[in-house]
Structure 1
């Protein structure tokens, strides 16, 4: 019975996402799914989509990114590594600084305050936080609020400025995927999931699905033009699964922290806008692309946003994966240093 309610919820989220997209709401699939998830979590009931359901949705988004990936991406990435390193250091320092503030402004222990503000992948940070002695429930609530805030504000704000879509994209929205396309997506989703079980690291399934989608379509088989709503479904699923995490217990735990949680979240947003501005100055990219590439709002969420708004999705996803992996490499050293008296 629980599975039926989960499927019903996802169907409603996709229906709302499709409706939002059809009436021209910026990143309509993503925002429609996100708002439906928030409403369900707060007023109806919450569901847990961690594990394979979220990974499958992420793989669906990754394949769509791989299909539009250009071979010269790696040459592009090389010129952005130094600016990315500079902004990555600043993002880490921002997270440390905000963690110190949260530690001083609240009664939280230092471990929990630190893990609440780490600008890494939310799912990975939440998963390992208890291993370091942090309160996993508070960490999950804070990261859920941070991701929800960014995913609500950034797609809508960028969409209002930049716009999205084009006539050609709209012309293929009524097409049905071919048997070849369905088989192509199914094989890559399953293959990426299985490979990620054996070779697991932050953002792994996103990397695998992007790589398989690119290599498969570029060198193995021509699957033709995929209907736009296929990508939209992936975005809607990501939005729904992220949004429903923001449920009543999240609000209760954030309220227990007090006004300090709102202050830290507000500072997170302002600092992220500033870091994006620096990345914009250091690269030839637009500010909107810089913002999507550097804001600590999750590789999956920002990759979905970039796909929805058609703003350099392969570049955005690649830079976020580099950021997340780099943070997890230095995390043990940061934690050891921070916990010293």
Structure 2
């Protein structure tokens, strides 16, 4: 099993490196994602859940933290009202799309709703079983949604918004790294893992990674240190392969059992995300692709990695996603209680 994982990860890194060298938008991320999808569908699914995935999340978070500037806090405060509106619309869309799934399929209301909860996929899948939903179906739909979004958005950026990426799509470059910076990177990852073991919160690994990376970069290195681009690329490729490999044959057949409604609902989700990004762009003045990455309900780590790959404000994107996921889990019990009452009255 370990040998197969090493081969799979090696292929992902190699393909990601090649795509980055060819200046394909988000080449590292797409290389990992395509490798994971191919391996999961045609060979076998490998389990990267648990601490391997946490370590990769920590790497991505620390990388974002090293890029972070103190001005980001002013930006987050500046975008409070647009963020609040986007959160409200996203929660409402999750409920609405869940209602459609419940009426278009034979899924029970709780399973249908958990399938459409906008974000925090790993936490939502784990919670769905505790509330009595079918977490196999929930996992299948969340996997399909995140895989589709991560696969589509870089192509959307590259083909329809090339001006926003002009001069930003860097190819592969082998840069040097000082031993002190390497030690700081490993220290930040270890501290991140320790913090998550002590205090588990939604999107906690990414949040702790950003926080720790920022502290070490700003106060230990006085803002003078930066990580080579290939460190971020490796993190993106690893995120890609670990997400892509979840889209395996059982996931495909589970979606096939649901039928056409799953594809239609996925399309509705995507169209909603495009519309929400346009509203966020109008309210903030941010570029459209940055707005899309900041608001699309496709996973904080995945969208942070995509933003980092496309050089589109990864610290802002990561921060807004973390706020969204935390707010989601604050309101989630309230939404579920309302849904349970509605289901009981319907029966």
Structures share fold, TM-score greater than 0.5: yes
Residues 146, 299 of structure 2: 8 Å contact kept: yes
Name the CA distance, whole Å, in 2 between partners of 1:167 and 1:296: 24
In structure 1, the partner of 2:52 is: 53
In structure 1, the partner of 2:248 is: 247
Gaps of 5+ in 2: none
Name the CA distance, whole Å, in 2 between partners of 1:104 and 1:70: 47
TM-score, normalised relative to structure 1:
0.96
In structure 2, the partner of 1:102 is: 101
1:266-299, CA deviations, whole angstroms, 9 ceiling, x for partnerless residues? Answer: 1000011111111111112111111000000000
Seen in structure 2, the aligned counterparts of structure 1 residues 297 and 167 have a Cα distance that, compared at 3 Å, is closer
Alignment of 1:140-219 (within 5 A): 140-160=139-159, 161-162=161-162, 164=165, 166=167, 173-219=173-219
Q: In the alignment, is residue 111 of structure 1 matched against residue 100 of structure 2? A: no
Of 314-323 and 224-233, more deviation after overlay is shown by 224-233
In structure 2, the partner of 1:3 is: 2
Name the CA distance, whole Å, in 2 between partners of 1:276 and 1:177: 37
Name the CA distance, whole Å, in 1 between partners of 2:40 and 2:85: 38
Name the CA distance, whole Å, in 1 between partners of 2:215 and 2:169: 25
Q: Which 4+ runs in 1 deviate beyond 3 A?
A: 162-170, 222-225
* Residue 334 (structure 1) shift: 0.2
RMSD: 1.6
Name the CA distance, whole Å, in 2 between partners of 1:334 and 1:195: 29
Q: In the alignment, is residue 286 of structure 1 matched against residue 287 of structure 2? A: yes
* Residue 167 (structure 1) shift: 8.5
Residues 38, 247 of structure 1: 8 Å contact kept: yes
Name the CA distance, whole Å, in 2 between partners of 1:303 and 1:197: 22
Q: In the alignment, is residue 137 of structure 1 matched against residue 136 of structure 2? A: yes
State the SS of the aligned residue for 2:301: helix
Of 321-330 and 63-72, more deviation after overlay is shown by 63-72
Seen in structure 2, the aligned counterparts of structure 1 residues 279 and 165 have a Cα distance that, compared at 3 Å, is closer
Name the CA distance, whole Å, in 2 between partners of 1:327 and 1:303: 18
1:119-154, CA deviations, whole angstroms, 9 ceiling, x for partnerless residues? Answer: 021111001100010001000000000000100111
* Residue 181 (structure 1) shift: 2.3
* Residue 339 (structure 1) shift: 1.8
Gaps of 5+ in 1: none
* Residue 168 (structure 1) shift: 11
Q: In the alignment, is residue 277 of structure 1 matched against residue 301 of structure 2? A: no
Seen in structure 2, the aligned counterparts of structure 1 residues 248 and 169 have a Cα distance that, compared at 3 Å, is closer
In structure 2, the partner of 1:28 is: 27
Residues 30, 305 of structure 1: 8 Å contact kept: yes
1:158-204, CA deviations, whole angstroms, 9 ceiling, x for partnerless residues? Answer: 1332364859965x822233322221111111110111011111111
Aligned residue pair count: 339
Residues 120, 328 of structure 1: 8 Å contact kept: no
